[in-house]
Amino acid sequence: MEQKHTISVLVENHAGVLSRVAGLFSRRGFNIDSLAVGETRNSEVSRITIVVNGDDYTVEQVSKQLNKLVDVIKIKVLDDNEFVGRELLLLKVKATAKQRAEIIQLVDIFRANIVDVSKETVTVEVSADQDKINALTGLLEPFGILETVRTGLVAIQRGSDCVE
Amino acid sequence: MIMSGAQAVVTILEKHGTDVIFGYPGTAISPFYDKLLESSIKHVLVRYEQGAVHAASGYAKTTDKVGVCVATSGPGATNLITGIATAYMDSVPIVAITGQVLTSQLGKDVFQEADITGATAPFCKHNYLVKDVSNLPRIVNEAFILASTGRPGPVLIDIPMDVLKAEVDYLDDFVFDIPGYQYEFEIDKEAINKACKAINKAKKPLIIAGGGIISSGSKEILHKISKEFSIPVTYTLMAKGCLDDTYDLNLGMLGSHGTLVANKAVSQCDVLLVAGGRVGDRSMSNSSGAYLKKTVIHIDIDPAELGKNISVDIGLHGDAKDILMAIYSQLEKINRDKWFENKKTVEALDSNFKVSKGCVDPKDVLTCIASLSDDDAIYTTEVGQNQIWAANLIELLTSNKFVTSGGMGTMGYGLPASVGCKIGNQDKQVIVIEGDGSLQMSLQELGTIMQEDLDIKIVLFNNSSLGMVRELQTLKYDKRYSGVCLTKNPDFIKLFSSYGFAGSRLTNKENIEEQVKKMLSYKGTYLLECVVDKDNPTIYR
């Protein structure tokens, strides 16, 4: 059954590692939903969080093939509901002086922030899971969204378990 | 000790026991070639860079050493790609070294610049672009370990010219430390127990031997398991020679070009032990369902192969030899009713195909060669009908070696590979099975054979066509022959004689034995051109 899987990958922080990982996905025919990279506390190690769409066979192959990359140190397929996942969204929406208050109200309900205001626009920042981000986007749609910028998902396991 | 990057590379090659490298020079790799002059390492100048990788592959497969090849930047490097991909598919340990433009010029599209690490990433076990000379010794050392351990494969090191020239403090104190790479594996005892229980209960067990049997040195233990517990064996193309072909429990090769008995056994067995093979689509396809309704036990050193191509009930990750030894100690001697036929010839060879006048049957030629060649002769093949005939018709002993491009199916592999085989095994007979299509893809390597004064026996099946594709067009395209006719071939014997090689042409059955004897006893490279009927099939119906 096709579904989304979130994979946490620790890699050596070398030039070209990201292209190896991305290249592996394209040539083996795996579909990346989102991908986010950043350094860990150890500057020699980066973490890539990948969301992949596929069945159990696909996710097994993804992790086994990733494991074969010499630069890949560790892989963990995160169990659903066992992790906290967040995406960051920056959203620029049309806002006249009259509409601003209403937008601010919505932003407050979602515990999002206003990070920029101009005469005709408001820019909103929200960090949340995908559903919440989609909900806020939906509510702001009627005002006229000008642009959105969204990161891939980053995820961390709940409780004391770590991928280190 | 302070030395240049180039000198450090040469020093580490020597340290790893490299006695020969195959290559082609150019500007960017020149600092390396300069240092090579003072080394004991022999350099074999090929005629085309692809030949250097294939030669290194033939060398690696017949010497248990890592094959090393060298090329310059840009076109030199890109010409290696097909060879590297071929080695990758067949898990051959190779270190490829390429020169690169100056680090300050990288990414500027300067003369003879190509992103070879980017281009070969899909076909390399690992590759490196070395921008800092202080990393160079560690990287070259790592490359040898990566190439030869675990599932072997090609590793490429791309070295800019300024890095080769720069000075480095060479300390001979390498620590191999790649946190994400392991090559020693614990055996999963529980899984072994499960596998042994399944085999002990089996009424119709069967082993499929893959290339891992050869590369892990498991021929002997395979034979012991088969013989002592009466388990028949079929093999993939990469494992030809894993058992004597005359051994009565050896059912021959399986798959689309395999023997009927082997394929029948695969579908009828109740427990299938796949040992050291990835079970490629030419051997057994998941869609055929041949693996269904049986217990499949799969041994592989690459865990990604377990469950990739066929569904597996018990996966055993590790070195085939270690695992087979562990299995051997737990198997029970059981009297099983014989459930398979062990007539392993390609049955339909007795089909009604009649060879026309002026032609010989590859079957007769290969049978004769197999019976008259040395017990430790090394065979290489090209890709096409010649390869399938060789795989099915040459009866090998475990002391023989069979070197072929299985996964990639690279035409033009056999001739340059034979160069590596011969250079690594000067005292052994090296016999190349050729087709007229494949031969002309690596023809230039005759120059290498001439210059190195090698003694290679070249058996050319000349049917003036690209026989394998022609056969496909016969069977699947209603005999509409498109692009497969080599209507104007050169006179190969004259061509070979211009290189100083002897040769003769076989056009009738009566002369086969005499001509084969003449070829095998001749001192030097010899072409035996066998004129073959265009319609002579590999698949018999």
Residue B365, both tokens: 């030629």
- Tell me whether A70 touches chain B (CB under 8 Å): yes
Chain B nearest CA to A117, separation (Å):
41
Cβ neighbours of B104 (radius 10 Å): 10
Residue B369, both tokens: 């060669």
Residue range B70-99, pLDDT digits in tens: 999 999 999 999 999 999 999 999 999 999
Does residue A160 fall inside a structural domain?
no
Q: Examine the domain organization and report whether A7 and A70 are in the same domain.
A: yes
Distance CA A67, CA A20 (A): 12
CA distances from B449 to B65, B250, B456 (A): 21, 36, 8
Distance CA B313, CA A55 (A): 19
Q: Examine the domain organization and report whether B508 and B469 are in the same domain.
A: yes
Number of domains in chain A: 2
Among candidate residues B504, B510, B502, the one with its CA nearest the CA of residue B530:
B504
pLDDT band at B334; cut points 50, 70, 90: confident
Q: Examine the domain organization and report whether A7 and A55 are in the same domain.
A: yes
Cβ atoms B207, B226 nearer than 8 A: yes
Are B308 and A61 a contacting pair at CB < 8 A? yes
- Full strand arrangement of the beta sheet holding B295-300: B250-253, B233-235, B205-209, B271-275, B295-300, B314-317
Which residue in B has a C-alpha nearest to residue A10's C-alpha?
B180
Does residue B341 fall inside a structural domain?
no
pLDDT band at B523; cut points 50, 70, 90: very high
* DSSP character string of B48-74: SHHHHHHHHHHHHHHHSS-EEEEE-ST
Cβ atoms B340, B266 nearer than 8 A: no
As separate numbers, helices (DSSP H) first and strands (DSSP E) second, chain A gives: 4, 9
Residue range B174-232, pLDDT digits in tens: 889 999 999 989 999 999 999 999 999 999 999 999 999 999 999 999 999 999 999 99
Residue range A24-73, pLDDT digits in tens: 988 888 889 999 999 999 999 999 999 999 998 899 999 999 999 999 99
Q: Examine the domain organization and report whether A23 and A39 are in the same domain.
A: yes
> Left, alpha or beta for A159 (phi > 0: left; psi -120 to 50: alpha)?
left
Note the helical H segments in B64-134. Answer: 75-78, 81-89, 116-120
Q: Examine the domain organization and report whether A126 and A142 are in the same domain.
A: yes
Q: Write the CATH number for B508.
A: 3.40.50.970
Q: Give B118: exposed, middle or buried? Use CB within 10 Å, 0-12, 13-18, 19+.
A: middle
Are A20 and B146 a contacting pair at CB < 8 A? no
Does residue B506 fall inside a structural domain?
yes
CA distances from B21 to A88, B70, B403, B450 (A): 53, 7, 19, 17
Does residue B110 fall inside a structural domain?
yes
- Tell me whether B135 touches chain A (CB under 8 Å): no
Q: Examine the domain organization and report whether B367 and B494 are in the same domain.
A: yes
Residue A128, both tokens: 């949340």
Residues on chain A touching B117 (C-beta within 8 angstroms): 16
Identify the pLDDT of residue B293: 82
**Which residues 150-179 of B are in CB contact (within 8 Å) with A?**
178-179
Q: Examine the domain organization and report whether A7 and A52 are in the same domain.
A: yes
Q: Examine the domain organization and report whether B260 and B198 are in the same domain.
A: yes
pLDDT at B309 over 90: no
Residues on chain A touching B181 (C-beta within 8 angstroms): 70
pLDDT band at B346; cut points 50, 70, 90: low
Question: The tokens 């292209």 sit on which residue?
Answer: A19
For residue B179, give the amino acid letter: P
- Tell me whether B317 touches chain A (CB under 8 Å): no
Chain B nearest CA to A61, separation (Å):
7
pLDDT at B5 over 60: yes
Among candidate residues B266, B252, B378, B271, the one with its CA nearest the CA of residue B314:
B271
More confident call, B539 vs B362: B362
Query: Which residue range is the domain that position A138 belongs to?
Result: 84-154
Are B125 and A70 a contacting pair at CB < 8 A? yes
Q: Write the CATH number for A133.
A: 3.30.70.1150
Average pLDDT, chain A: 93
Q: Examine the domain organization and report whether A104 and A150 are in the same domain.
A: yes
Q: Examine the domain organization and report whether B157 and B193 are in the same domain.
A: no
Query: Which residue range is the domain that position B312 belongs to?
Result: 189-328
Identify the pLDDT of residue B12: 97
Does residue B338 fall inside a structural domain?
no
What percent of chain A lies above the pLDDT cut of 70?
Answer: 100
- Mean pLDDT along residues B480-505: 97
Distance CA B529, CA B457 (A): 11
Q: Examine the domain organization and report whether A72 and A89 are in the same domain.
A: no
Does residue B311 fall inside a structural domain?
yes
Q: Examine the domain organization and report whether A92 and A131 are in the same domain.
A: yes
Residue A42, both tokens: 């150890």
Number of domains in chain B: 3
Which residue in B has a C-alpha nearest to residue A72's C-alpha?
B180
Does residue B538 fall inside a structural domain?
no
Phi (first) and psi of residue A120, to 5 degrees: -110, -5
Q: Examine the domain organization and report whether A88 and A133 are in the same domain.
A: yes
Measure CB to CB from residue B304 to each of A16, A19, A65 and give the nearest one: A65
pLDDT band at B335; cut points 50, 70, 90: confident
Q: Examine the domain organization and report whether B39 and B134 are in the same domain.
A: yes
Q: Examine the domain organization and report whether B514 and B387 are in the same domain.
A: yes
Find the Cα–Cα–Cα–Cα dihedral B525, B531, B534, B538, rounded to 10°.
Answer: -60
pLDDT band at B379; cut points 50, 70, 90: very high
Residues on chain B touching A26 (C-beta within 8 angstroms): none
Q: Examine the domain organization and report whether B318 and B209 are in the same domain.
A: yes
Are B117 and A71 a contacting pair at CB < 8 A? no
Identify the pLDDT of residue A35: 94
Q: Write the CATH number for B291.
A: 3.40.50.1220
Q: Examine the domain organization and report whether A99 and A63 are in the same domain.
A: no
Residue range A79-110, pLDDT digits in tens: 888 999 999 999 999 999 999 999 999 999 99
**Which residues 19-38 of A are in CB contact (within 8 Å) with B?**
19-20, 23, 27
Query: Which ipTM score applies to this complex?
Result: 0.88
Cβ atoms A153, A6 nearer than 8 A: yes
Q: Write the CATH number for A7.
A: 3.30.70.260
Measure CB to CB from residue B121 to each of A11, A20, A60 and give the nearest one: A20
Q: Examine the domain organization and report whether B383 and B431 are in the same domain.
A: yes
Which residue in A has a C-alpha nearest to residue B145's C-alpha?
A70
Q: Examine the domain organization and report whether B162 and B285 are in the same domain.
A: no
Average pLDDT, chain B: 94
Q: Give B203: exposed, middle or buried? Use CB within 10 Å, 0-12, 13-18, 19+.
A: exposed
Q: Examine the domain organization and report whether A12 and A41 are in the same domain.
A: yes
- Mean pLDDT along residues B324-342: 91
Residue range B438-477, pLDDT digits in tens: 999 999 999 999 999 999 999 999 999 999 999 999 999 9
- Tell me whether A13 touches chain B (CB under 8 Å): no
Q: Examine the domain organization and report whether B105 and B29 are in the same domain.
A: yes
Residue range B240-294, pLDDT digits in tens: 999 999 999 999 999 888 888 898 999 999 999 999 998 877 777 555 666 678 9
Residues on chain A touching B308 (C-beta within 8 angstroms): 61, 64
Are A70 and B302 a contacting pair at CB < 8 A? no
Boundary (domain end) residue, out of A49, A78, A107 = A78
Measure CB to CB from residue A70 to each of B180, B303, B304 and give the nearest one: B180
Distance CA B449, CA A129 (A): 65
Which residue in B has a C-alpha nearest to residue A75's C-alpha?
B180
Are B121 and A23 a contacting pair at CB < 8 A? yes
Q: How far separated are the first and last CA of chain B, in Å rounded? A: 68
- Mean pLDDT along residues A114-137: 95
pLDDT band at B511; cut points 50, 70, 90: very high
Identify the pLDDT of residue B541: 44
Identify the pLDDT of residue B400: 97
Does residue B337 fall inside a structural domain?
no
- E strands along B13-61, which residues? 20-23, 42-45
Residue range B24-47, pLDDT digits in tens: 999 999 999 999 999 999 999 999
- Which of B123, B308, B309, B310 is best to mutate for the A interface (most A CBs within 10 A)? B308
Does residue A159 fall inside a structural domain?
no
Chain A nearest CA to B66, separation (Å):
19
pLDDT at B297 over 90: yes
- Mean pLDDT along residues B91-110: 97
Q: Examine the domain organization and report whether B450 and B354 are in the same domain.
A: yes
Boundary (domain end) residue, out of B328, B361, B385 = B328
Q: Examine the domain organization and report whether B120 and B235 are in the same domain.
A: no
Sorted by sequence, the CB contacts under 8 Å of residue B41 that are 6+ apart come out as B10, B13, B14, B18, B19, B20, B21
- Mean pLDDT along residues B303-324: 93
Does residue A163 fall inside a structural domain?
no
Does residue B336 fall inside a structural domain?
no
Question: The tokens 């090689």 sit on which residue?
Answer: B501
Q: Examine the domain organization and report whether A53 and A102 are in the same domain.
A: no
Cβ atoms B491, B497 nearer than 8 A: no
